[in-house]
Amino acid sequence: MDLNEILTAAYKSDASDVHLIAGQPPVMRVHQVMTPMDFPVINAETARKFVEQMAPPEALVTFDRQKDSDFSYEVKGMARYRVNAHMQRGTVACAMRMIKTKVPPLAALNLPEVIARLTYLPRGLVLVTGDTGSGKSTSLAAMIQAMNERYKKHIITLEDPVEYTFVSDQCVIEQRELGADMPTFASGLKHALRQDPDIILVGEMRDLETTALAISAAETGHLVLSTLHTVNASQTVERIIDMYPAGQQNQIRSMLSNTLQAVVSQTLFSRIDRAGMVPAVETLLCTPAVRNLIREARTFEIPNVIETNRAIGMCSLDTSIAELYFNGLISREDAIAQAAFPDKLERQLAA
Bridge-based pairing of strands 124-130 and 260-270 is parallel
Mapped onto helix, strand or coil, the DSSP state of residue 163 is: coil
Check residue 245 and give its pLDDT.
Answer: 96
Q: Which amino acid is at 292?
A: N
**Residue 148, CA distances (Å) to 120, 170, 172 in order:** 12, 6, 8
| 76/180 same-domain check | no
**Is the per-residue pLDDT at 74 higher than 80?**
yes
Instruction: Look at 7-11, 53-57, 177-181, 334-338 and tell me which has the smallest mean pLDDT.
Output: 177-181
Q: Strands, E, within 229-347: which ranges?
A: 260-270, 277-285
**Is the per-residue pLDDT at 100 higher than 80?**
no
| 239/209 same-domain check | yes
Percent of residues, the chain, with pLDDT higher than 90: 90
Q: How far apart are CA 285 and CA 264, in angstroms?
A: 9
**Is the per-residue pLDDT at 164 higher than 90?**
no
Per-residue confidence at 101, pLDDT binned at 50, 70, 90?
confident
Per-residue confidence at 160, pLDDT binned at 50, 70, 90?
confident
Question: How does pLDDT run across 188-202, given as a tens digit for each residue?
Answer: 999 999 999 999 999
| 156/246 same-domain check | yes
| 211/290 same-domain check | yes
| 46/195 same-domain check | no
Question: How does pLDDT run across 86-99, given as a tens digit for each residue?
Answer: 999 999 999 999 98
- Which residues make beta-bridge pairs with 17? 29, 97
Check residue 162 and give its pLDDT.
Answer: 85
Percent of residues, the chain, with pLDDT higher than 70: 100
| 143/90 same-domain check | no
**Is the per-residue pLDDT at 102 higher than 90?**
no
CATH number at residue 64: 3.30.450.90
Helix axes 288-295, 249-259, angle to 10 degrees: 170
| 138/194 same-domain check | yes
Q: How far apart are CA 329 and CA 270, in angstroms?
A: 8
205 and 216 Cβ atoms separated by less than 8 Å: no
Helices (H) and strands (E) in the chain, counts: 14, 13
236: containing domain = 106-350
pTM of the model: 0.88
| 35/156 same-domain check | no
Check residue 335 and give its pLDDT.
Answer: 97
Q: Which amino acid is at 185?
A: F
Instruction: Write down which residue in 100, 123, 158 finishes a domain.
Output: 100
Radius of gyration in angstroms for the set of CA atoms belonging to the chain, rounded to a whole number: 21
Per-residue confidence at 77, pLDDT binned at 50, 70, 90?
confident
215 and 259 Cβ atoms separated by less than 8 Å: yes
| 9/149 same-domain check | no
Check residue 76 and give its pLDDT.
Answer: 87
Question: How does pLDDT run across 268-295, given as a tens digit for each residue?
Answer: 999 999 988 999 999 999 999 999 999 9
Residues 6 or more apart in contact with residue 16 via CB below 8 angstroms: 29, 30, 31, 32, 97, 98, 133
Q: How far apart are CA 228 and CA 206, in angstroms?
A: 7
Instruction: Write down which residue in 80, 100, 120 finishes a domain.
Output: 100
**Residue 214, CA distances (Å) to 125, 249, 260, 327 in order:** 8, 16, 11, 38
CATH number at residue 325: 3.40.50.300
Check residue 323 and give its pLDDT.
Answer: 97
| 147/95 same-domain check | no
**Is the per-residue pLDDT at 262 higher than 80?**
yes
Counting the structural domains of the chain, the total is 2
Bridge-based pairing of strands 223-228 and 124-130 is parallel
Per-residue confidence at 11, pLDDT binned at 50, 70, 90?
very high
| 13/124 same-domain check | no
| 308/239 same-domain check | yes
First-to-last C-alpha distance (Å) of the chain: 54
Angle at 343 between CA 339 and CA 346, to 5 degrees: 80
Instruction: Write down which residue in 100, 120, 138 finishes a domain.
Output: 100
